[in-house]
């Protein structure tokens, strides 16, 4: 007989490692934003070219979201997680060895392929080790790691850049990731099952994949996160440069201030799944739509703020409310999808966010290059929140939809 306490401890241990892995992924990808100014000076390139460097990662990262989740659904999360972490860590290290702008773009593209397999596999790993009723809360809690990683990144990477230079900072980060990948490989048991308790296949197949990709509900969730992903990825990528150039801070001050909004985001994302299931069960879209509207309002307040303190305070409020949307778009699929579709479903939702990750930095880079300031940038971000608000209001969960998708797998 399995000891329930031992099983819960094992599940918690797996969750902690998945959470840590997500933090490492965000530290590795955030390092490039803190290095942009130094890279621009070394390679003698401007904002538009640096926007391409940022966006290149998101092309490959977005492209791997659905395949990565599908592979995890097919063969289990452990294999995908190990390969993904090891792969991206190698190319984090190689970022520090880039010898030209072209090589840097190529390395960041391949780096994105490695990281792209992780989100769907990590959400899949959570569902493999927790009860169905806990999936929405635990999936949303896992997503809070994104902001914890983004919060930690400047505190870790900025001192490394100042002490060792941007190149050696990437080398150190890459080695740390490789150590984690090996630890995960030997510490975590593979719990993926080929059959469920009723004897049905627990692996995704072509029919289930096609049914999932044709679900209007999933596309509405995807588009909602695409809109808020524009805000998410745009601010993540360009706030350090904005504070350095428009607000005239030094790198040390930027390293101290940029983590603060991520604290707010990590709190709201961690609470999001619990709040959604506790008070907004069946009414998730109303919370998400309200948070989109509030985010747009405080983006305008950021734009008009007279002081750096005001900018950071309003950005923190934006991050707090947009992160409820983040929690919601990942909690919803975990609520209604069968386990064998969780990885692909999570990859599908994250695909929307990562397409935004390609679009936002590139568009912002062009807007800054053309206008010479960030005025149009804030207008672009506010329009994105309006788009997300409209798409979130179109989301409708129904018993009929649950029944149709349930027919492709276990209840």
Higher pLDDT, 134 or 74: 74
Q: Give the pLDDT confidence score for residue 255 in this predicted structure.
A: 67
The CA distance from 61 to 32, in Å, is 15
Q: Give the pLDDT confidence score for residue 369 in this predicted structure.
A: 87
State mean pLDDT over 318-332.
90
Which of 59-73, 115-129, 243-257, 375-389 is the least confident region? Answer: 243-257
The CA distance from 92 to 25, in Å, is 10
Q: Total structural domains in the chain? A: 1
Three-state DSSP class for residue 258: coil
**Cα 346–Cα 348–Cα 351 angle in degrees, nearest 5:** 110
Compute the Cα dihedral for 123, 124, 130, 134 and give only its sign.
positive
Instruction: Evaluate whether residue 74 is within a structural domain.
Output: yes
First to last CA, the chain: 25
Query: Is 366 exposed, middle or buried (CB count within 10 Å of its CB: 0-12, 13-18, 19+)?
Result: middle
The CA distance from 277 to 280, in Å, is 6
Instruction: Evaluate whether residue 256 is within a structural domain.
Output: yes
Tokens 């990825």 sit on residue: 233
Token duo for residue 318: 């934006």
Three-state DSSP class for residue 195: strand
With beta carbons less than 8 A apart as the criterion, state whether 364 and 238 touch: yes
Beta bridge partners of 201: 195
Domain of residue 313 covers 20-187+203-406
What's the CATH code of the domain at 45? 1.20.1250.20
Q: Give the pLDDT confidence score for residue 3 in this predicted structure.
A: 52
**Of 23, 37, 321, which Cα lies nearest the Cα of 152?**
23
- Please tell me which of 111-125, 231-245, 329-343 the model is most confident about, judged by mean pLDDT: 111-125
Token duo for residue 59: 């092309």
| pLDDT tens for each residue of 366-406 | 898 898 888 899 999 999 999 999 999 999 876 444 444 44
Compute the Cα dihedral for 287, 290, 291, 292 and give only its sign.
positive
The CA distance from 341 to 123, in Å, is 11
Instruction: Evaluate whether residue 8 is within a structural domain.
Output: no
With beta carbons less than 8 A apart as the criterion, state whether 405 and 204 touch: no
With beta carbons less than 8 A apart as the criterion, state whether 355 and 346 touch: no
| pLDDT tens for each residue of 10-34 | 788 889 999 999 999 988 877 888 8
Instruction: Evaluate whether residue 46 is within a structural domain.
Output: yes
Report CA-CA distances (Å) from 228 to 243, 279, 292: 22, 22, 7
Average model confidence (pLDDT) across the chain: 84
> H helices of 64-205, where?
65-75, 77-95, 101-116, 118-129, 135-164, 166-187
Q: Give the pLDDT confidence score for residue 176 in this predicted structure.
A: 93
Q: Give the pLDDT confidence score for residue 279 in this predicted structure.
A: 86
Contacts of 249 (CB under 8 A, 6+ apart): 243, 257, 308
| pLDDT tens for each residue of 179-225 | 999 999 998 887 665 545 544 545 666 777 888 888 899 999 999 99
Instruction: Evaluate whether residue 2 is within a structural domain.
Output: no
State mean pLDDT over 60-66.
89
**Of 293, 327, 311, 304, which Cα lies nearest the Cα of 141?**
327
| pLDDT tens for each residue of 218-260 | 999 999 999 999 998 888 878 878 888 888 777 677 767 777 8
Instruction: Evaluate whether residue 351 is within a structural domain.
Output: yes
Per-residue pLDDT band at 43 (split at 50, 70, 90): confident
Instruction: Evaluate whether residue 13 is within a structural domain.
Output: no
Instruction: Evaluate whether residue 196 is within a structural domain.
Output: no
Is the pLDDT reported for residue 336 higher than 70? yes
Cα 342 from chain centroid (whole Å): 16
**Of 51, 120, 33, which Cα lies nearest the Cα of 81?**
120
Higher pLDDT, 121 or 251: 121
State mean pLDDT over 124-141.
79
The string of DSSP codes covering 122-136 is: HHHHHHHHS-GGGHH
Is the pLDDT reported for residue 131 higher than 90? no
402 HSE (CA, 13 A, CB side): 10
Q: Give the pLDDT confidence score for residue 39 in this predicted structure.
A: 87
Beta bridge partners of 195: 201
Per-residue pLDDT band at 2 (split at 50, 70, 90): very low
Report CA-CA distances (Å) from 26 to 71, 118, 153: 22, 11, 7
**Cα 367–Cα 373–Cα 377 angle in degrees, nearest 5:** 50
Radius of gyration of the chain (CA): 20
- Please tell me which of 74-88, 129-143, 323-337, 348-362 the model is most confident about, judged by mean pLDDT: 74-88
Q: Give the pLDDT confidence score for residue 381 in this predicted structure.
A: 96
With beta carbons less than 8 A apart as the criterion, state whether 411 and 337 touch: no
Three-state DSSP class for residue 201: strand
Per-residue pLDDT band at 51 (split at 50, 70, 90): confident
Helices and strands (H, E) in the chain, number of each type? 17, 0
């Amino acid at each position: 007989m399995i000891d329930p306490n031992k099983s819960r401890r094992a599940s918690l241990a797996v969750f902690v490692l998945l959470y840590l892995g997500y933090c490492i992924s965000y530290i590795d990808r955030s390092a490039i934003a803190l290095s942009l100014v130094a890279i621009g000076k070394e390679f003698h390139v401007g904002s538009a070219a640096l926007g391409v460097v940022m966006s290149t990662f998101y092309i490959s990262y977005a492209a791997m979201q659905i395949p990565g989740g599908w592979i995890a659904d097919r063969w289990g999360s452990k294999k995908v997680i190990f390969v993904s972490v090891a792969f991206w860590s190698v190319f984090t290290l190689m970022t520090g060895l880039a010898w030209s702008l072209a090589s840097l773009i190529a390395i960041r593209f391949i780096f994105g392929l490695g990281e792209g397999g992780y989100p769907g596999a990590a959400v899949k790993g959570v569902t493999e080790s927790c009860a169905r009723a806990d999936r929405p809360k635990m999936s949303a809690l896992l997503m809070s790691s994104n902001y914890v990683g983004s919060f930690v990144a400047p505190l870790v990477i900025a001192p490394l850049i100042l002490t060792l230079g941007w190149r050696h900072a990437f080398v150190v980060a890459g080695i740390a990731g490789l150590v984690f990948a090996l630890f995960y490989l030997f510490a975590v048991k593979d719990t993926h099952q080929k059959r469920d308790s009723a004897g049905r296949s627990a692996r995704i197949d072509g029919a289930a994949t096609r049914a999932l990709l044709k679900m209007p509900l999933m596309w509405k969730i995807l588009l909602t996160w695409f809109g808020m992903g524009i805000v998410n990825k745009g601010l993540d990528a360009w706030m350090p440069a904005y504070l350095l150039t428009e607000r005239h801070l030094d790198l040390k001050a930027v390293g101290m201030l940029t983590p603060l909004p991520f604290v707010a985001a990590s709190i709201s994302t961690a609470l999001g799944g619990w709040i959604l299931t506790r008070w907004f069960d069946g009414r998730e879209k109303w919370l998400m739509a309200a948070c989109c509207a509030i985010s747009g309002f405080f983006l305008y307040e950021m734009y008009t703020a007279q002081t750096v303190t005001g900018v950071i305070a309003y950005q923190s409020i934006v991050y707090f409310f947009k992160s409820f949307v983040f929690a919601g778009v990942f909690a919803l699929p975990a609520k209604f999808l069968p386990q064998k579709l969780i990885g692909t479903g999570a990859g599908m939702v994250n695909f929307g966010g990562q397409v935004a990750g390609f679009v936002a930095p590139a568009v912002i880079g062009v807007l800054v290059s053309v206008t010479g300031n960030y005025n149009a940038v804030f207008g672009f971000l506010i329009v994105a929140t309006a788009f997300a608000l409209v798409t979130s209001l179109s989301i409708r969960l129904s018993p009929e939809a649950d029944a149709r998708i349930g027919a492709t797998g276990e209840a």
